[in-house]
Amino acid sequence: MPKEKGSHSSSTSDDSLDNPDAEGSQVANGKPTVRLRQPVHLHIKGLTSQVTKEDIAEIFGNFGALTVVDRFQGHLGNGYACVKYARPEDCACAIELMDGGLIDGNRITVSTFQ
């Protein structure tokens, strides 16, 4: 039986098919399902000016292959970096193990980059 416009089921909604983060769709039990892309970009905050791009690549490269490493120095000495992993699993591992960790004596914040 076709769904009426505006009705929602508990497992999916029509809006989920237009999700820009969606990666392909499949049909299961006659209903479309959408797989969301897992993040591969990280944002690392709280770096001292002594931490280099090479340091970031060495530290975060321990969790998997990096495809991009960018290091920035903000105003007032607040440094940050953005890294991109080849695999989402490596990104998730880096967040789990590094968020709240110490680099050069500073506590860092590691999160997905939007």
Question: Could you tell me the domains of the chain?
Answer: 41-112 (3.30.70.330)
Question: Contact at 8 Å (CB) between 39 and 91?
Answer: yes
**Inter-residue contact 73 to 90 (CB < 8 Å):** no
Query: Tens of pLDDT along 45-78?
Result: 999 999 999 999 999 999 999 999 999 998 777 8
> How far is it, in rounded angstroms, from Cα 106 to Cα 34?
40
Model confidence pTM above 0.75: no
Bridge-based pairing state of the strands 22-28 and 31-36: antiparallel
Report CA torsion sign: 54, 55, 56, 60: positive
